[in-house]
Amino acid sequence: MRYNSKVRMNRLFGGGRCLDVAIDHGVCNEPSFLDGLEDIQGVVTALVSAGPDAIQMNYGQADLLQDVPGKDKPALVMRIDMGNPYNRIRHRDMWAVLQNEAEPLIGAIEMDAACVVVNLFMLPDEPDLFRQCVQNIARVRADCDRYGMPLMIEPLVMQPVTEKGGYMVDGDADKIVTLTRLAREMGADIVKADPTSNAEDFHRVVEAARCPVLVRGGGKEDLRAVFDKSAALMRQGAMGMVYGRNIYQHANPSAVVRGLMAIVHEDASGEQAFARYQQG
């Protein structure tokens, strides 16, 4: 790790691990992702009170977090790209672009982000989209070195759009490991990786990354299953999670955060985390 990036990494991984709550879904242009995010200011207020390690946002909403006074609020992780693979249809042109091509880090620096995140999409028969992502990462990596900004790369291996009515996660361990390795080769400081279909295979992703790996949450699932899977993935070497819909689309997001923080920072089991959640 480059020394100058350690300053922000220490802010993100203050206890050595990290729960990052993602609420950056507005750039996906997918209506179902916005369920639970209608009152974004209220969501941010509730999450700050719940106290995760970080909140993942876009530039246009980051002021809601950074305007909160005091030093104990969650760190800001800023997404600096957007794309169109999240809809239920296949578009004529698939794309992924940086939100500011000329100065991709300027908003993150302005908002005092602890980290930036960029996608690495691997969709069937979409080599142009893949190349765009590689070019985005190559462009951002140089600026991250210059400004001491940690780079989180999000390798996403997806199934064909025809399989499940949208580009859904492909949990094949070999594919995830291969794309994670590419993310590391391109200079990832942090990898946000999909869980493998078999949690017992996830240590291979951790080994390929050779940097902290945070597990991506994906679509909303049964909460007890989420806790059990999260605990199993932590046992395989994950350093935390980046969960969005599995937090903000539940009736009590703060209680979900409390349960997940127990898994991340106290090595709680899924059962123990669920009991913590049930405390209200």
DSSP string covering 253-269, please? HHHHHHHHHHHHHH---
Q: Could you read off the pLDDT of 213-255 as tens digits, one per residue?
A: 999 998 888 999 999 999 999 999 999 999 999 999 999 999 9
**Residue 223 near residue 184, CB atoms below 8 Å:** no
Who's near 187: CB < 8 A, 6+ residues apart? 137, 141, 144, 151
**Mean pLDDT, the chain, integer:** 94
Q: Could you read off the pLDDT of 172-213 as tens digits, one per residue?
A: 999 999 999 999 999 999 999 999 999 999 999 999 999 999
| Whether pLDDT at 1 is above 70 | no
Q: Domain ranges in the chain?
A: 3-278
Cα–Cα distance measured from residue 165 to residue 167, given in angstroms and rounded to the nearest whole number: 7
Q: What's residue 269's pLDDT?
A: 98
Tell me what percent of the residues of the chain surpass a pLDDT of 90.
82
Domain 3-278: give its CATH code: 3.20.20.70
Task: State the distance between the two ends of the chain, measured CA to CA, in whole angstroms.
Answer: 40
DSSP string covering 49-116, please? HH--SEEEE-TTTTHHHHTS-SS-SPEEEEE-EEESTTSSS--SS--EEES-SSSTTHHHHHTT-SEE
Q: What's residue 136's pLDDT?
A: 98
Cα–Cα distance measured from residue 182 to residue 186, given in angstroms and rounded to the nearest whole number: 6
Neighbour-count burial of 16, counting CB atoms closer than 10 A to its CB (0-12 exposed, 13-18 middle, 19+ buried): exposed
Which one, of 130, 196, 124, lies nearest residue 162 by Cα?
124
Q: What's residue 3's pLDDT?
A: 56
Which one, of 188, 221, 224, lies nearest residue 206 by Cα?
188
Cα–Cα distance measured from residue 37 to residue 248, given in angstroms and rounded to the nearest whole number: 7
Across 107-145, b (16+ Cβ under 10 Å) vs e yields bbeebebbbbbbbbbbbeebeebbebbeebbeebbebbe
Q: Could you read off the pLDDT of 90-127 as tens digits, one per residue?
A: 888 999 999 998 999 999 999 999 999 999 999 988 99
The answer to pTM > 0.85 is yes
- Please report which confidence band the pLDDT of residue 71 belongs to, taking 50, 70 and 90 as the band edges: confident
Cα–Cα distance measured from residue 74 to residue 124, given in angstroms and rounded to the nearest whole number: 36
- Please report which confidence band the pLDDT of residue 128 belongs to, taking 50, 70 and 90 as the band edges: very high
Q: What's residue 167's pLDDT?
A: 67
